[in-house]
Amino acid sequence: MKTQNPTIRRQTKLILAISATLAGLSTAAQAQSLGIYYNLQTYGTVANGNSILDVLGNTTATLNNDANTSLTSSGLTIVSASGNSASTGLTLASGSLSGYTGSFSVQDWVTIASPNNGVALWGANNGPANTYIGDGYTGVSTLIGFTWGSLAGGGGTGNPLGQPYNRYGNTVAGYSLAASQSYDLLLTYNASTYTFNQYLNGSWVGSLQEAFSSTSLAGTQLLAIGGCPNEPWSPWGDASADATTTDFLLYNGELTASQASALDIAGAGASVSMINAAMVPEPGSLALWALAGVTGLFLRRSFRSSLTTTKQ
């Protein structure tokens, strides 16, 4: 009766183990995906109160019905001042965030008209109007992109990190935006480590660890581009920024620093295929496939050598 060579048996197990590891690593490297994409220069002039569908054809958003908000071929424009509390820009339909129960990334391409008029660029919030951002008593959970940086506030009285919430919210990272310049603002969140990272024009500018909304963007319920639901709170100077947004993108998964850079190079108005190419495969996953090829070649040679020895 023939028995399998012990060396062959060990090498077979090693091949299977390496294959499983590489497959798992490759899947993890490609976990990010584009979920919502509004290229706001492609809709032409849209009447206030009307709705539009995102590029992917999955998400509907409604243009705020007021004189301060307009959507044209130039993009979504908010004409603001410190006392304007009416505009919430373009509000995503209820339930649009329900699938974002883990890590996520938010990208906003915007040009500031006047840095002194309003500050809110986009925001998500589940609280009633004029409550504090991270008030543990009201359970409000809010995430807002401002002209000076992004701010996160989680609701509730307990969280996985065991840290008290700041009722005013915590700043992820600060930056300074000048008038008449286009900016690529990217905010990422890792739900496993509770870590935010902020990028400006493809470059990392800071981070914050906070157990935001029990690690879920879905917990904020509503999101608006050009403002924030139940925001801005004009008495506190958080009015919508005087700015024009050309692109707004929401991703499932945490984008890496290399992906942030690649997406910035792709630029505003990039096609879906260009965006996907900038996200995957990552350089890391390419390296994994190269490693898999080299490892496979080595093991095949060892396997053949073992067979030759056995025959002899």
pLDDT tens by residue, 57-69: 999 999 988 888 9
- What per-residue confidence (pLDDT) applies to 77? 94
Assess if residue 300 is contained within a domain: yes
Across residues 172-185, what is the average pLDDT? 94
Provide the H-helix boundaries in 205-282: 257-266, 272-279
**Region 281-287 average pLDDT:** 47
Whether 147 is in a domain gets the answer: yes
209 class by beta-carbon count within 10 Å (0-12 exposed, 13-18 middle, 19+ buried)? middle
Does residue 272 fall inside a structural domain? yes
Number of domains in the chain: 2
Residues 51 and 131 in one domain: yes
Co-location of 16 and 141 in the same domain: no
Q: Is residue 47 predicted with pLDDT exceeding 50? A: yes
Minimum mean pLDDT range among 120-124, 191-195, 285-289: 285-289
Question: Using the 8-state DSSP alphabet, how is residue 48 labeled?
Answer: T
Do 261 and 295 fall within a single domain? no
Instruction: Tell me if 166 is assigned to some domain.
Output: yes
**Pairing between strand 60-63 and 90-92?**
antiparallel
Tell whether the model's pLDDT for residue 12 goes beyond 60.
Answer: no
Residue range(s) defining the domain that contains residue 275: 32-280
Cα–Cα distance between 10 and 21 in angstroms, integer? Answer: 17
Across 277-306, average pLDDT? 52
**Whether residue 249 sits in one domain with residue 162:** yes
pLDDT of residue 261: 97
96 and 53 in a common domain: yes
Residue scoring higher pLDDT (158 or 275): 275
Judgement on whether residues 199 and 305 belong to the same structural domain of the protein: no
Residue 214 is predicted with a pLDDT of 58
Residues 14 and 73 in one domain: no
Whose CA is closest to 122, among 151, 93, 94?
Answer: 151
In a domain, 64, yes or no: yes
* Residue 239's CATH number: 2.60.120.200
Residues 223 and 255 placed together within one structural domain of the fold: yes
Q: Is the pLDDT of residue 252 over 80?
A: yes
Average pLDDT over residues 157-164: 64
Which of 4-18, 29-43, 106-120, 287-301 has the least mean pLDDT? 287-301
Backbone angles phi, psi at 147, to 5 degrees: -70, -15
Of 50-54, 115-119, 134-138, the range with the highest mean pLDDT is 50-54
Whether 246 and 130 map to the same domain: the answer is: yes
Mean pLDDT over the full length of the chain: 77
Tokens 């008038």 appear where?
179
- Same domain membership, residue 53 and residue 19: no
* Residues 220, 302 within the same domain: no
pLDDT at 55: 97
Q: Does residue 51 belong to any structural domain of this protein?
A: yes
Answer yes or no: is pLDDT of 1 > 80: no
Residue 119 within a domain: yes
Distance CA 262, CA 269 (A): 14
1 domain residue, yes or no: no
Same domain, 209 and 99: yes
pLDDT greater than 50 at residue 144: yes
